[in-house]
Amino acid sequence: MLMAGVALASAAGFAASAHAADDKTVQMLHWWTSGGEAAALNVLKGDLAKEGFAWKDVPVAGGGGEGAMTALKAMVAAGNPPTASQILGYFAVDYAEAGKLGDITSLATKENWAKVVPTALQKFTTTNGKWDAVPVNIHSVNWVWINKAVLEKIGGTEPKTFDEFIALLDKAKAAGVIPLALGGQPWQEATMFDSVVASTGGIEFYKKAFVDLDESALKSDTMKKSFDNLAKLKAYTDPNFAGRDWNLATAMVIKGDALVQVMGDWAKGEFKAANKEAGKDFLCYRFPGTDGSVIYNTDMFAMFNVPADRKAAQLALADATMSISFQSAFNVVKGSVPARMDVPDTAFDICGKKGIADVKAANADGKFVGSMAQNYAQPPAVAGAYHDVVTKFFHGEIKTSDSAVTELVKAINAAK
Ligand code: BGC
């Protein structure tokens, strides 16, 4: 807990300036309900409790946050927003544009956040130069999580290309192990497809297709090949994959029932919660063919426009979240890496250290790119259209990669 003293002192400073009649409750909406996620959230609850703030939990189960975003919409529409909500990318932009978010710029300026948070993320944490959200972490989706004992048992090694990945999955299949642990829910399949596209076409192609929405890229042979590659992966799942929660898929790898899961680094939080050690019990590799690129999704806390008596608690939450000690302690447990670039990697395991180095390198090389599936490349309507087409293809409702690209272009054009 490096510099804990400094961080607590500064947050306490904000608490001290609060008025006696202030509501000292932080009401937080989130979808962190798995074992690893809850453990990470406890770090925040603990830090705020030390400063005298009570925690009012609004958990809405459902990986990827779909249910949470529906619940949030209802609270905001009823004029009863939470102090803050976990939120992804363009969802925050929408609330900001609708004038629903508050203003924490004075704290941001005092603490110099603009200097330490990557510019790419500030697009989502600020509106017209005003800070209205804080980035809790940087997750990335282009990872694979491998059970080390199973890998050794089947005589496998790190796959560096998509073809090597398929060869490795074949080895697992031949050895009678479930090769790929997957949760067949639209957001999970779409999250995996982000990586498949970056691997198949390269990160520049990914950007052209998903960030620029270039129609020629969206309907290209490369996009068709990406869908074909996605279809190949389906052959390695077990028959019960449909509808499975992401953390249950992680548990299959933890137990050694399956070799690998393709998932964002929140999966690492589950390994941690099960007392598994990176490098010893499990291995983390970038999705084959995407090393050097980071397809990110950052959890932010959107700061809603709350009445005056709730603002001190909101500022205390923002201040605690952005402290160097919290960004280290929370992300060690969550599986993500800090959103501040000045947090030492000392407390992180080898996957976390790689994650931190990867973010810095990718950011410098123009290879730090928002996740389409996780609402960091496009607004929710477009991301939703993407989920839809990917899942229909994966479950056989759209039968060929040819029709998949046609449907993708159609759905995206209708949504944008
Ligand atoms: C969030 C993670 C979360 C995951 C699964 C993602 O959208 O960014 O924080 O752990 O969903 O619930």
Express each pLDDT in 224-249 by its tens digit. 999 999 999 999 999 999 999 999 99
Per-residue pLDDT band for 19 (boundaries 50, 70, 90) equals confident
Return the higher-pLDDT residue of 16 and 223: 223
* Among 366, 179, 205, 197, CA closest to 289: 197
- Quickly state the pLDDT bin for 7 (edges 50, 70, 90): very low
Can you tell me which atom of ligand 1 is nearest the CA of 266?
10
Which DSSP category does 20 fall into? T
Q: What is the pLDDT of residue 12?
A: 42
Mean pLDDT for the stretch of residues 387-401: 98
CA-angle at 199, arms to 197 and 202, nearest 5°: 85
Give the predicted TM-score (pTM) of the model.
0.95
Residue 4 above 70 pLDDT?
A: no
Higher pLDDT among residues 15 and 210, named by residue: 210
Three-state DSSP state, 183? coil
Rounded CA gap, 40 and 329, in Å? Answer: 8
- Report whether pLDDT(13) > 80: no
Span 267-273, average pLDDT? 98
Enumerate residues lining ligand 1, CB below 6 A: 31, 37, 63-65, 88, 139, 246, 266, 297, 299, 374
Q: How many CB atoms lie within 10 A of CB 120?
A: 16
With H, G, I as helix, E, B as strand and everything else as coil, classify residue 255. helix
* Ligand 1, pocket-test mutation among 29, 32, 263, most atoms within 8 A of CB: 32
How does pLDDT run across 43-70, given as a tens digit for each residue? 999 999 999 999 999 999 999 999 999 9
- Report the SS3 class of residue 85: strand
Taking residues 177-196, report their average pLDDT. 98
Pick the more confident residue, 245 or 15: 245
What is the average pLDDT score of the chain? 95
- The pLDDT value recorded for residue 18 is 60
Average pLDDT over residues 307-313: 96
Q: Nearest 5°: phi and psi at 180?
A: -120, 120
51 C-alpha to ligand 1 centroid (Å) = 27
Mutate to test the pocket of ligand 1, among 266, 270, 372, 374 (most ligand atoms within 8 A of CB): 266
Average confidence (pLDDT) over 358-367: 98
| Ligand 1 atom nearest residue 31's Cα | 12
